[in-house]
Amino acid sequence: MTTFWDTHYATPRADPRANVRLTEVAADLAPGTALDLGSGACGDTLWLARRGWRVTAADVSGVAIARLAGLSRELGLGDRVTAERHDLAETFPAGCFDLVSAHYLHTPFALPRARVLRRAAHALSPGGRLLVVDHGSVAPWSWDQEARFASAAEVARSLELDAGEWAVERADALSRRATGPGGQVADVVDHLLLIRRTQRPSEEN
């Protein structure tokens, strides 16, 4: 698995860009602590750090993590970015976060997604948000043309979170125009789930 993702990220992107759903959701949030799960090409981490967030970035690819660490230093963001290699099936970053972002956490390898995302929800500080953005349709350049993706509501149910401690703020299917690695253009669907950790009953007054 690690070799697959190291190969995938072996060729750097000249201008890593943030995912559009992250910029839409987080643009108006006050900067705090963030966790970028599956940080990959690192556009989301750098976008958050530029906006004042202190970001822990986690990815299974050592190549991607090394590149992010180098880029953040070059851009003067080294004090805001902590890059850590994690196989999320085995380990998870420590800490509490105001925002956890998990974009397109799909893989051709076994991954206990519900367990990982449940752990992400538990890593939120009170008032913090978990943003999960999944593919909702198969792009022409996808490696798996037979894939079927759960809806945002189905993902939310799979996490089995206590409604007294977490609230679903959004569970949407959104269309956008996407460009593939070979320059192909197609309309695709994103499934967006936004969960907020509310104060625990013992803390409410």
How many folded domains does the chain comprise? Answer: 1
> Which parts of the chain have pLDDT scores under 70?
1-2, 4-14, 108-109, 143, 200-205
- Give the CATH number for residue 113: 3.40.50.150
Rounded to whole angstroms, how far apart are CA atoms 156 and 191? 11
- pLDDT attached to residue 12: 67
- pLDDT attached to residue 174: 97
- pLDDT attached to residue 181: 79
- pLDDT attached to residue 203: 46
Closest to 129 measured CA to CA, from 48, 23, 17, 33: 33
- pLDDT attached to residue 6: 45
Lay out the sheet containing 166-179: strands in order across.
81-85, 54-59, 33-37, 97-103, 124-135, 185-197, 166-179
pTM of the model: 0.89
- pLDDT attached to residue 205: 34
The residue range of the domain holding 24 is 2-10+18-203
